[in-house]
Structure 1
Amino acid sequence: MLAEYLINAFATLFVTIDPIGLAPMFLAVTPGLAGAERRTIAIRAVCISAALLLAFIFCGKPLLTVLGISVPAFQVSGGLLLFVIAFEMIFGHRAQRKSDTADKLAQPEPDHHGHGQDVSVFPLAIPLIAGPASISAVILLSSQAETGMELAGLITVALSILGLCFVIFLLADTIERLMGATVQLVLTRLLGVLLAALSVQFVADGAKAFFGG
């Protein structure tokens, strides 16, 4: 059961965070920056995302309890949200929306102190890495964790994917050049199909528990 849970968690978070798809977004919001500057931005973005996702892993289920939302109900709603994300991935809408966001912030306007906006916070950490889909996913997965081992495994999976994001940010130029637009397009659609299947399973499990309970 632990192995099945961890595989499910890895697949869900890998698809919703989409580390490979973030490579061109990272390049778009860090134009003309030196390697050291990009590395600093990458470290900050990943650390902020990690703090945010860990907060929802630990506080997500208690928050649902405070709000009076049952875990099965959130499984159904979270599964539906992930299905919408999968639909966008399959038909290319999500990549276009992320690209538009990155393009708008490629040349950030100075703030009232005369400094540029910190792209490591927005849009990299929020919402490109820790967005609605990934936050919903970690709450959903943490609510399904029945043992301390599963919760520890979820944390390890989340941190490993964020570490992969950091590596991909550092290799963004090479990855984009090697993969090309066509390979990225095909990979995004395949991952979208996988996420659609996972989201349907979440909805089915939630509905079964909701009506069964």
Structure 2
Amino acid sequence: MELDLREIFTATMVLFAVIDIVGSIPIIIDLRQKVGHIQSEKASLVAAIMMIAFLFVGETILKLIGIDINSFAVAGSFVLFFLALEMILGIKLYRDEDTGSTSIVPIAFPLIAGAGTMTTILSIRAEFQTINIIIAIILNIILVYGVLKSSAKIERFLTKNGLSVIRKVFGVVLLAIAVKLFAANVKGLFA
């Protein structure tokens, strides 16, 4: 295992685009208005534990089911593709059930560490060193914590139009990542 700043930066940006914490600010603000206080520390810590645990046991679980990492990465590229379409077009393809609690569900899971994030973690594991992915996860969790703590200030600063533009830009980035991930792993399916 070796530290690679390029891998750390790329993995951080990929996870940042998938987690889309900036685009989730309206959801977070809405939840805060419904239930009052959001436990930022608890939500961030649980999401980090879930992501790092999945990084290590996710592949084992896939092997038990009989799925290789290339197949999962290709499937993950489709998930990222549809997440990107949601962000770019402003449509909702995936619907979550609404629950009463807000720190763990729906903030830690599925908002931060949802299906797209878990798929991405295993998909980028096919390309990057584990230590670099862990650092990328930690950097994203620090950012998530900061956003959760100061979501009201961020909302006043960015306005709805600003949030919409940022969401669309990261949607295009995520779309490009999905295409790259598909191209890099589809060959492994036929090897």
TM-fit CA distance, 1:134: 0.5
**Does 2:123 align with 1:125?**
no
- The one-letter amino acid paired with 2:12 is F
Specify the alignment match of 2:177 in structure 1: 198
Structure 1 spans left out of the alignment, 5+ residues: 106-116
Decide whether the 8 Å contact of 1:19 with 1:161 is kept in 2.
Answer: no
Q: TM-score, normalised by structure 2?
A: 0.89
Decide whether the 8 Å contact of 1:49 with 1:130 is kept in 2.
Answer: yes
Q: TM-score, normalised by structure 1?
A: 0.81
TM-fit CA distance, 1:142: 2.2
Decide whether the 8 Å contact of 2:70 with 2:189 is kept in 1.
Answer: yes
Q: Deviations over 1:64-88 (max 9, x none)?
A: 2222212211121111111011011
Q: Deviations over 1:146-168 (max 9, x none)?
A: xxxx2111111101111111111
Specify the alignment match of 2:32 in structure 1: 30
Root-mean-square deviation (Å): 2.2
Which of the residues 48, 51, 60 maps onto 1:50? 48
Decide whether the 8 Å contact of 1:45 with 1:120 is kept in 2.
Answer: yes
Q: Which has the larger radius of gyration?
A: 1
Q: Distance in 1 between matches of 2:94 and 2:125?
A: 28
- The one-letter amino acid paired with 1:159 is I
| Runs ≥4 residues deviating over 6 A | none
Specify the alignment match of 1:164 in structure 2: 143
Specify the alignment match of 1:207 in structure 2: 186
Q: Deviations over 1:110-137 (max 9, x none)?
A: xxxxxxx431111111111111100111
Decide whether the 8 Å contact of 2:73 with 2:119 is kept in 1.
Answer: no
Decide whether the 8 Å contact of 1:82 with 1:195 is kept in 2.
Answer: yes
TM-fit CA distance, 1:51: 1.2
Cα distance, 1:97–1:186 mapped onto 2, change above 3 Å: farther
Which of the residues 138, 151, 168 maps onto 2:121? 138
- The one-letter amino acid paired with 1:89 is M
What number of residue pairs does the alignment pair up? 189
- The one-letter amino acid paired with 1:27 is I
TM-fit CA distance, 1:32: 7.3
Decide whether the 8 Å contact of 1:29 with 1:119 is kept in 2.
Answer: yes
For 1:69-80, list aligned pairs within 5 A.
69-80=67-78
Q: Look up the SS of the partner of 2:33 in the other structure.
A: coil
Q: Distance in 1 between matches of 2:91 and 2:82?
A: 10
Q: Identity of counterpart residues, as a percentage?
A: 26
